[in-house]
Amino acid sequence: MDYDVIYIGSGNAAWQGGRFLRKAGLKILIVEESLYGGTCANRGCNSKALLDAPYEIKALADNFEGVGKAGNLEVDWPALMKFKRKRIANMAPFLDGKFEEYDLDVAHGKGVIVDEHTVKVGDETFTTDKIVIATGLKPVIPDIKGKEFLHDSTDYLDIDELPKHSIIIGAGFVGMEFASILAEAGLEADVIIRGDMALKYFHQPYVQRVIEILEGKNIRFHFNEQVSEIIKDDSATIENPEAKVLNLKKALNTDDELRDPEAKIDNRAYENAFTVKCESGLTLCGDYVVAAIGREANVDGIGLENVGLTSTKQGIKVNGHLQTEVPNIYASGDVADTGVAKLVTVAIHHSKYLAKELLGEADEITYPVVPAVAYTIPRIATVGVSAYVADESDEYDVHTIRYGNSYSLELKNDTTAEAKVIVDKDLNIVGAEIYAADAENVANMFAFIINKKITLEELDYMIYAFPSSSSVCLYKLHNIHYDL
């Protein structure tokens, strides 16, 4: 065999564990048809984090409106995009250097499984003992008339100028996070949702709070709508009934008198105009349409059929060892259908586990509680047992911790920060829902508490750095401990 393990894909689901296998003496090949590091490093979370940060800061500054804030923070998107492109352009070369440092061989091209022990890359053929499929996910593009006019998240994260009026199809992570950026940028968007919920895996009362904030900043939501067609008109001035009504509401008070005599009810002139039609008859117009309806397994053309494997949108089915129905072929990361959240942190967990599994050092994979965060402004996070599950069960109690209201001075004048803490009948913390500017950090704190089974008594004994969001949230937990 040429190699002990061949990874198809070069993201965190591959190299994080591959380096340990190489250190153990196995010969490793990583196959990549695009940029080294995969989606998160080059086209996803890193780009989103960098572009989101100035708008997050702007929102924090707005907490001091009327109590110290002078002037307005304006984000220069073209300059920010230039900075983002420079930083992200370094990611693939950096990882290429790390692969060399770890002594991992690489082959650039599309990896195609020929048989159980053979992978073809371009004109080269490699043999291997084990194959790990780590090709991740790709954006779902709906099969509708005019779908060629749709953009995906990769496009949106590399756009030269933010659109004046976006139409976002979908309200999951991508749709809602983009909507938050547009809201803080003072731009307009319409969000079309197929069902009756946005961010359906998160605590809905907190999601509704975010929606209300966005609605107050020219983001409109349309629930239970199915897009049927997209039409492009390069040079038209298109009447936008939704915007027209909104402008009318701004212009008139309850007595139907002009609040602002200069307010105008006008149509929108777009250099590139798009009309989005829904099955209900709803028609929306804007200058950019983005599909954000989810992601599906990225397995097209990798040769699954050559070894009798199949996949669904959720990925390739694996057992408790991340092993497919072909014993020497495994799937790792987002492309593996495990029933666990498809997050980069889970992909890293898979990759490290597989290193031990392939060295014969692991039992079936287990998972700690996994925190998930929607990077809206403000953030929403969930970890462990959800408040929804707790409310439906007699095994848990839900306690609301309004630490922002109690400690707004310590939280940079954020009065709304809140957590719902789920405890079992023995008062062990088993879950949390968080709504706060830095919900991601508070979620990590609760993940540590839950995984390590730290008791309320132990938490109450500890001394924390103050002021900090974690310390004030933790301090409020003593109300549960002492039944106050």
pLDDT, tens digit, for every residue of 11-27? 999 999 999 999 999 99
Residues 6+ apart with CB under 8 A from 451: 368, 369
| Residues contacting 108, CB < 8 A, separation 6+ | 31, 32, 33, 121
H or E element, residue 434: strand 429-436
Share of the chain above pLDDT 90, in %: 83
Is 411 a domain residue? yes
Q: Are 220 and 335 members of one domain?
A: no
**Co-location of 133 and 161 in the same domain:** no
Q: Which domain holds residue 351?
A: 3-137+295-358
Whether 328 and 264 map to the same domain: the answer is no
pLDDT at position 482 is 74
DSSP 392: T
- Kindly state whether residue 113 falls inside one of the protein's structural domains: yes
Tell which phi-psi region holds residue 327, choosing left (phi > 0), alpha (psi between -120 and 50) or beta.
Answer: alpha
CA distance 196 to 89: 39
Residue 368 lies in a domain: no
End-to-end CA distance of the chain: 66
Task: Tell whether pTM > 0.75.
Answer: yes
Which pair of structure tokens corresponds to residue 253? 């008070």
User: CA 465, CA 445: separation in Å to the nearest integer?
Assistant: 13
Together in a domain, 9 and 91: yes
175/299 same-domain check: no
Radius of gyration for the chain, computed over Cα atoms and rounded to the nearest angstrom? 25
Residue 52 CB contacts under 8 Å (≥ 6 apart), including other chains: 177, 180, 181, 375, 377
Which residue, of 291, 321, 338, is where some domain finishes?
A: 291
Number of domains comprising the chain: 3
Check residue 262 and give its pLDDT: 41
Domain of residue 470, CATH code: 3.30.390.30
pLDDT in tens, 395-429: 999 999 999 988 887 888 889 999 999 999 999 99
Choose one of 291, 309, 331: the last residue of a domain. 291
* pLDDT given at position 257: 39
Same domain, 312 and 390: no
